[in-house]
Structure 1
Amino acid sequence: MPSKKVTSIKGFQYAAMLIFAVAIALIQPGTAAGALTIEITQGEKSGIPIAAVPFRWHGTGNPPENLRGIVAADLHRSGRFELLPPADFLSRPSEVSEVRYKDWRLIKAEALVVGRITEKGPDRFEVSFQLLDVYRERVKVALRYTASADQLRQVAHQISDRIFYEMTGIKGAFDTRIAYVTMNITEENDRVYQLMIADSDGHNSQQILKTTNLPVLSPAWSPNGQWLAYVSFSDNRSGANVWLQDISTGSRRPVARFDGSASAPAWSPDGKSLALTVSAKGNTDIYVLGVSSGEMRRLTKHPAIDTEPAWSPDGRYLVFTSDRNGRPHIYRVSRNGGKAERLTREGKENAGASYDPIGNRLVLVTNRGQGAGYQIGV
């Protein structure tokens, strides 16, 4: 089986500026959580009509996993596909030789997924699938996998990734993992924080770290999936620090020891460096840390608050949020330092920027003013 890739999910709450002390204040006992309203204002009218036939089972008993269900859920969740209901299917083929393309044109499917699961031995299964172009009547891709029962979900995600790529030209991210933090309040009014990892669809969740009354924030995956960087208060320091934890062994260590606090870790694309927000001696700036060497370099030096660093895909630049002109906006600086360049000028406030995988667009949080509230923009 191919090794599993990773992605990260991080949440944030943004007022006029995401200042770390404010973020901590928001989670102290006695504070009330505000209601969250999400309004989707733009999107695609409809996705690509695709039919995914239940994978035919060749074995004893019931199939060990519902591959069609996993693939369909992945594709639906992407927003790029319209999954046609199985109740509309006029036939249920499991390979191309059984396909009558006119059956699928009648229900307006543009693509068709067929497959089968074959039991090959004790805890050994062969999965085959084909993606078909209904109107051109040809096979776009055909693949086989061998897996154990507990690997079948990953196989389904890999099938989804391949379908997504073949249909959109964009690399899929279904066979990935997410990192997130949960918080529960006990009967004793303690706050229990858990750092969790899971498959991209939330299955196979696993606890990585558990703390009581010591917040855990901002998990970030290393590019190779071996390490998680996150913000923790669990070393009894007055301020927060960024920690590294090995996913396979559970061992962890602080990235550095210094006066003040560190937050908002962001891995460089090559995994050799971490960008950090460091607050020390009344100033908050962006630093870059060599993960192996421990060498810390200061990238920004300004009396304003510089925070939320994010790398460009080629590793040459970092974007960050700064209020150096009175309101938070997005700036860019070379990884070698130098003068920062302001990138955003529209809107009242802009923050939390990240590059798209190609590197020619930014996704960010924006407030255009006039009561519009905060929105996600590109």
Structure 2
Amino acid sequence: MLLSIPRITWKAIRRYSTKTSLLQSTRISPTLEKKLERISEQHDSLLYQLSNNQLNPTDLATASKKLSDLTTTKSLFDDWRKCTQDLSDLQDLLAVQDQEDDMLELAKEEYEDIMSRIGVIEKDLIYELAPKDAADDASAILEIRSGAGGDEASLFSSDMARMYERFAQLKKWKWELLSKSEDVGGKGLKDITVNISGRNVFGLLKYESGVHRVQRVPATESQGRIHTSTITVAMLPQPTEVDVQIRDSDLKIDLYRASGAGGQHVNTTDSAVRMTHIPTGLVVSMQDERSQHKNKAKALKVLRAKIFELEREKTQSARRDSRNKQIGTGDRSEKIRTYNFPQNRVTDHRINLTVYELEHILSGDGLENIIEPLQEYYLSQSLLDE
């Protein structure tokens, strides 16, 4: 949650009422509050001008759209101010020293209710104010690759793929396998590439990119020693053909015979495709399909996503560099998260978040308990860049 609600006794409430403000854990800083006040004043001014026909006909459409854009923020800010005023009134009530215990108990309940409402409002305000990433609504291409740790890394790659697939099912997104490479035993994955289609896929999963570390005792470990393995996750927004246009002259396409499991036909025909984008040097290989044309189509989809992400990173570099002074980039070169099985612990190192529900998270059902705090923190930080 954006705002944690302190558990308090009636003595604690009385102490708050005499020594400090009840609203001490708000995320609305004085600077942000001033910005919200300016937005509120701008909203009221536009509303007055529109209501009293003070605008030229040529300005009406622009003003109406601007008013519509500001309305939700204005409403949320009004609710926030009302809640903070309610807290102030509660503080005045508690300042009276001869309150009965039952009155203080009611005050405690009201305090917790108001703080809970403030937490929800603040979360919504940050979502409204944060700079919008045009790629957030897009579908995404997920790549998982095993890193250090041999078989254990491959097994963990498989675990992570199941986690994301289950999360996609819960969100009613479409999961389309593009390619995968299994390890020798067939239990783990060396790498897997998936297209996840749906609304706001990239917006929810973009902070999953990076190095994920697992600490656990392998089934083959007779001494009970904990092994550490890593995998890399890349989440790429899926652009349309309009977003990224690739000329045939910019492509070098090599055909070759597929290797590994896949049946006699796959391994005896030149159906595998290696596609190189000459201007950027990006390379994508695809061999899972029997059809050369299908492998080309899949390779082009992944290549288009990689080019789009490359251009997107360039345009956002200034904002990202500012934000990275406080948090990581989230790219695949950084260790972003640790999954510790003996302690049932998952730690996200970018925001120092630790939760003790590893199985719940790896099942996909609890992944949002990690994603939401990450998303809220990154959005909060983005407000500092403006």
Q: Quick check: TM above 0.5?
A: no
Structure whose alpha-carbon radius of gyration is higher = 2
Please give the range of the TM-score, normalised by the shorter of the 2 chains.
under 0.3
Between 1 and 2, higher relative CO (CA 8 Å, sep ≥ 6) is seen in 2
Q: More helix per residue: 1 or 2?
A: 2
Q: TM-score, normalised to structure 2's length?
A: 0.22
Q: TM-score, normalised to structure 1's length?
A: 0.22
